[in-house]
Structure 1
Amino acid sequence: MPVERELSDRPAPPPVPASGTLVVDTRRGDLVGEFRGVAGPYWSLRPIRGGTEWEADPAYVRPATAKEYLHAATARANRRSAGEWL
């Protein structure tokens, strides 16, 4: 059955992170976002550089690496120093 195979090929979701934790949505080209909460079967993530939150399938979300975390933190600091609200 195609549906059963599709479900079995799906990675297991990671544990729910603490609010504010940086994670990576692998379905959106490794987009880094800040975990905001659970919305039904999805996780709400907010872009580090500001913008509209999106919902991600937790099975395709992983913790940000140290390099990704540093890159995101630098981008956030640069936006704040330019006077932009995040």
Structure 2
Amino acid sequence: MTEDDGGDGNPSALPAVGEAVRDTARDRVGRVMGHEGPYLQVRPLGGGREWDADPRHVRTLSQGELLSALLAEANARSRQRTR
């Protein structure tokens, strides 16, 4: 998915609820939790507070990007536990 057109030439194409995405405006990754008005509600992969994301600045993560983001989240959690 590209920032401009949803990746399929259709500007209105939105990622489905549950899809892992990158919000390029905030440089954050998360899962789509819903659609509200013109925005997507996105929650961090490890849980936490949702944020509104402009669909024009959101793209679906590849499998490799998702695995990398999940690993980074797991590493961050493990560092917090050892302090």
Query: Do Structure 1 and Structure 2 share a fold, with TM-score over 0.5?
Result: yes
Q: More helix by proportion, 1 or 2?
A: 1
Q: Secondary structure at the match of 2:18?
A: coil
Matched residue, 1:5:
none
Moved over 4 A (4+): 75-79
The residue correspondences of 1:40-55 to structure 2 (distance < 5 A) are: 40-55=37-52
Identity of aligned residues (%): 46
Between the aligned partners of 1:77 and 1:36, the Cα distance in structure 2 is 21
Instruction: Provide structure 2 residue ranges, at least 5 long, that are not aligned to the other structure.
Output: 6-10, 78-83
Q: How many residue pairs are counted as aligned between the two chains? A: 72
Normalised by the size of structure 2, how large is the TM-score? 0.68
Normalised by the size of structure 1, how large is the TM-score? 0.66
Between the aligned partners of 1:74 and 1:19, the Cα distance in structure 2 is 22
Name the amino acid aligned to 1:15.
A
Q: Report deviation, 1:75.
A: 4.7
- The answer to whether the aligner puts 1:11 opposite 2:4 as a matched pair is yes
C-alpha RMSD of matched pairs (Å): 2.5
Between the aligned partners of 1:43 and 1:34, the Cα distance in structure 2 is 10
Matched residue, 1:7:
none
